[in-house]
Amino acid sequence: MLSKKQSRLALIKQLSPLLECPHCGQALKADDAGVSCPAGHRIDAAKQGQLFLLRKQPPETYTAALFAARTRVIQAGVYKALHEVLQEQLQDSRVIVDAGCGEGSHAEALQQGTIIGIDNAKAGIDAAAKRSDRHLWLMGDLADPPLVPQCADAVLNVLSPANYAAFARILKPGGLLIKVTPGPRYLQEIRDADGTEAGQPEPVTMPPSFALEETNHVHVTVDLPVDLRKEMLRMTPLTWHMEEEALVKAASTLSAVTIDLLVHRAVCKP
Ligand SMILES: [Zn+2]
């Protein structure tokens, strides 16, 4: 029986042929403590097996508290309808890269495939790795992911900016891009509580390297138990400017929330 740490190092070893050195772009090779490249750059795995494959650490914008709130909300099933669509869309994909995975709960809801979650937020990757040892969690540059070309069957990009050139580089020809964007009524109740006008979401325009095949619309209103309402407000940047008192007041009436999302499915052209 492998210890937790051993099993995490085994996962790094298994997936290391897909990893690229963030400093020089050469192949990374796994050893007993982490990974290294032929030029001598070495990166030790962190305590929970996560790897920091960034040239330099960006300033933290999202806090551990925001990610903890997100984990509670997502794991409570608020995004269940989205997860069912993702599960269906990705059922035939073997290696899935979640680009902009945050704290990893959307990726973790998938029941199949080998998942590599990448984000440049350390608090997100730390939270993902602490919770889940089924997948590999990387802190990496989303514009230049530390992955070898054409390693992924699918890229998942949930409510996070897209780097299409990077996606095209890491996807196999014919590989899938599943991109999730907010619909017009996404989290409408929170906007109402805050008095923010809902801006029309930007239409998704993909570069010629991708062929958009279909867009699924997920639109459900989810009841929120009392103990989840404050977390729901805390997990979104929409309420960052709100004082605690205003947040508590808004939470008291937030009995439901609209999950309105567009799931775009595109194929990477060979
Ligand atoms: Zn290197």
Q: Which domain holds residue 216?
A: 49-268
Residue 39 covered by a domain: no
Residue 8 covered by a domain: no
Residue 40 covered by a domain: no
CATH code: domain of residue 216? 3.40.50.150
pLDDT at 132 over 90: no
Distance 38 CA to ligand 1 centre (A): 7
Mean confidence (pLDDT) of the chain: 93
Q: Report how many domains make up the chain.
A: 1
Residue 13 covered by a domain: no
Pairwise CA distance, residues 171 & 154, whole Å: 7
For the segment 254-266, the average pLDDT, to the nearest whole number, is: 97
Residue 93 covered by a domain: yes
Distance 192 CA to ligand 1 centre (A): 49
What are the DSSP calls for 79-148, one per residue?
THHHHHHHHHHTTT-SEEEEET-TTSHHHHT--SSEEEEEES-HHHHHHHHHH--SSEEEEE-TTS-SB-
Write the pLDDT tens digit of every residue in 230-239.
999 999 888 8
* Amino acid of residue 59: P
Ligand 1 (single-atom ion) residues, CB below 5 Å:
21, 23-24, 26, 37, 39, 41
Residue 253 covered by a domain: yes
